[in-house]
Chain A
Amino acid sequence: QLQLQESGPGLVKPSETLSLACTVSAVSIRASSYYWGWIRQPPGKGLEWIGNIYYSGSTYDNPSLNSRVTISVDMSKNHFSLKLSSVTAADTAVYYCASGRYGYGSPGALDYWGQGMLVTVSS
Chain B
Amino acid sequence: SYELTQSLSVSVALGQTARITCGGNNIGSKNVYWYQQQPGQAPVVVIYRDSNRPPGIPERFSGSNSGNTATLTISRAQAGDEADYYCQVWDSNTGVFGGGTKLTVL
Contact = CB atoms under 8 A, between A and B. Distances in A.
Interface residues of A, number: 22
A46 B86 contact: yes
A60 B51 CA distance: 26
B31 A49 contact: no
* Chain B contact surface mostly: strand
B43 to A, nearest CB: 6
B29 interface: no
Contact of B94 (A62, A96, A110, A115): A62
Interface in A84-121: 96, 106-111, 113-116
B80 interface: no
A96 B88 CA distance: 16
A10 B99 CA distance: 25
B33 A113 contact: no
A110 B35 contact: yes
Contacts of A47: 35, 37, 43, 86, 88, 97, 100
Contact of B1 (A39, A64, A109, A113): A64
Interface in B77-106: 84, 86, 88, 90, 93-100
B90 A106 contact: yes
Contacts of B98: 46
A48 B48 contact: no
B97 A111 contact: no
* Chain A contact surface mostly: mixed
B45 interface: yes
A111 B93 contact: no
Nearest to A100: B45
B54 interface: yes
B1 A37 contact: no
Interface in B41-59: 42-45, 48-49, 54
A116 B42 contact: yes
A107 B88 CA distance: 12
A115 B33 CA distance: 20
Nearest to B86: A47
A115 B42 contact: yes
Contact of A48 (B33, B90, B97): B97
